[in-house]
Amino acid sequence: MKLLTIPTESHPGELLAVTKILGDAGINIDSIDAEEEEDGQGLLVLSVDRYDEALRLLRAAKVAARFADAGVNIRSLHIARHQITSSLVSLVTSDNEAAARLVADLIVMQK
């Protein structure tokens, strides 16, 4: 088992959101440790049976939340290539310029 460490904002429902994503995918959670810092931040440490898949799902959920929070609708998503360290993803959204800004920290190369 590998440990998955997730920095979070400390608010009601954060633990539920993470465990629901993993549970819906059938990923077994062997242990959970949740800590809250004084600054309103939190830290979740989970031991899971399928670490790589769990990490991929949680990263995708975090990116999807950025779009939802900004009110940008994803109309089409295509994963053209997936490698261990990177993926080539094509998106069509309701606001492509806003979408590019939302994922600017994730883009290695943009055309």
**Is the residue at 87 inside a domain?**
no
**Is the residue at 85 inside a domain?**
no
Instruction: Produce one character per residue of 12-31: b if its CB has 16 or more CB atoms within 10 Å, e if not.
Output: eebbeebeebbeeeebebee
Residue-number span of the structural domain to which 25 is assigned: 1-51
**Is the residue at 25 inside a domain?**
yes
For 34, the token pair is: 């949740």
**Is the residue at 39 inside a domain?**
yes
**Is the residue at 99 inside a domain?**
no
pTM greater than 0.75? no
**Is the residue at 21 inside a domain?**
yes
**Is the residue at 22 inside a domain?**
yes
Residue 111: the pLDDT is 52
User: pLDDT averaged over the chain?
Assistant: 86
**Is the residue at 43 inside a domain?**
yes
| Domain CATH number, residue 30 | 3.30.70.260
How many independent structural domains does the chain possess?
Answer: 1
pLDDT per position as a tens digit, 64-87: 888 999 999 989 888 788 776 777
Q: How confident is the model at residue 103 (pLDDT cuts 50, 70, 90)?
A: confident
pLDDT per position as a tens digit, 3-15: 888 888 888 888 8
